[in-house]
């Protein structure tokens, strides 16, 4: 069975602080994909990143960075120098091999950035 755990329910930071969101996954598949999505207060789901199981290279996109470690089954997400606009719920998700569109989502982490 596939499972995604986001143990942090809510993280509150002050603007310009860094914040790291944890994501731990479980799967028996050797090939799989991991995703992060952002859900701002307006409610839509915005794709942030996709990572396949064969690529453990860390990725940086502006103030966002991702650390994928197969050894610990983790795919953590860091926002550097957070801004108020980063306030949102962030979801980690795992793609299934029986249907790549069937995503197993974590429970989400609410990030609150205050000025």
Partner 1 sequence: DTAVSQTPKYLVTQMGNDKSIKCEQNLGHDTMYWYKQDSKKFLKIMFSYNNKELIINETVPNRFSPKSPDKAHLNLHINSLELGDSAVYFCASSQDYRDRGEKLFFGSGTQLSVL
Nearest to 29 by CA among 77, 114, 99, 115: 99
Question: By the 8 A CB rule, do 20 and 88 touch?
Answer: no
Residue closer to partner 1 by CB (options 33, 64) is 33
Strands 103-105 and 109-114 come out as unpaired
Query: Residues 44-83: x/- map of binding to partner 1 (CB under 8 A)?
Result: xxxx--x-x-------------------------------
Residues from 2 through 41 that contact partner 1 (CB under 8 A) = 31, 33, 35, 37, 39
Q: Which of 43, 80, 84, 94 binds partner 1 (CB under 8 A)?
A: 43
């Amino acid at each position: 069975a596939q499972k995604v755990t986001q143990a942090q329910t809510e993280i509150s930071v002050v603007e310009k602080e860094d914040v790291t969101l944890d994501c731990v996954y479980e799967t028996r598949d050797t090939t799989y994909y991991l995703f992060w999505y952002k859900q701002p207060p307006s409610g839509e789901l915005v794709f942030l990143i996709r990572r396949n199981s064969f690529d453990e290279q860390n990725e940086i996109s502006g103030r966002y960075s991702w650390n994928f470690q197969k050894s610990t089954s983790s795919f953590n997400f860091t926002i550097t120098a957070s801004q108020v606009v980063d306030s949102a719920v962030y979801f980690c998700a795992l793609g299934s091999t029986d249907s790549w569109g069937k995503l197993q989502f974590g429970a989400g982490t609410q990030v609150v950035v205050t000025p």
